[in-house]
Amino acid sequence: MSDPRQIGIVSDVPLGTARQFEVGDDLIVVVNTPEGLFAIEDRCSHADVALSEGEVDGCLIECWLHGSAFDVRTGVPTSLPAITPVKTFSISADSADPNSPIYLTKGTTQ
């Protein structure tokens, strides 16, 4: 994955929502939280389902299949049955500006 790479703009991911982006061979879910935008692997570590289809609550995204929540800041699950973190990605964007580009600044951090 080359750095940095624009993957969208802030208005693509309204506050409190998540959206999947395909970046090279990676499926990434970008989540817009009150603490800013974060990106994690769009695959639950418990089974092969997309986290982007789950509900966002603050800095957590809940897997729709069995209910594990993942902290999008760290990729760490905060509830069972998932016990393994998902990959995190570094992105930059001005979340206060809907027209701000979202840049993927680094590949996986875990």
Q: How far is the CB of 46 from ligand FES (least distance, A)?
A: 3
User: Cβ closer to ligand FES: 5 or 87?
Assistant: 87
Q: How far is the CB of 101 from ligand FES (least distance, A)?
A: 31
Q: How far is the CB of 99 from ligand FES (least distance, A)?
A: 34
User: Cβ closer to ligand FES: 23 or 65?
Assistant: 65
Tell me which residues touch ligand FES (CB under 6 A). Answer: 44, 46-47, 49, 63, 65-66, 68, 81-82
Measured distance CA(48)–CA(94) in Å, rounded: 31
Q: What's the number of CA atoms in the CB half-sphere (13 Å) around residue 60?
A: 11
Q: Rounded to the nearest 5°, which phi and psi values hold at 24?
A: 60, -125
User: Cβ closer to ligand FES: 15 or 47?
Assistant: 47
User: Among all chains, which residue has been given the structure tokens 């990729």?
Assistant: 75
Cβ proximity of 94 and 77 under 8 Å: no
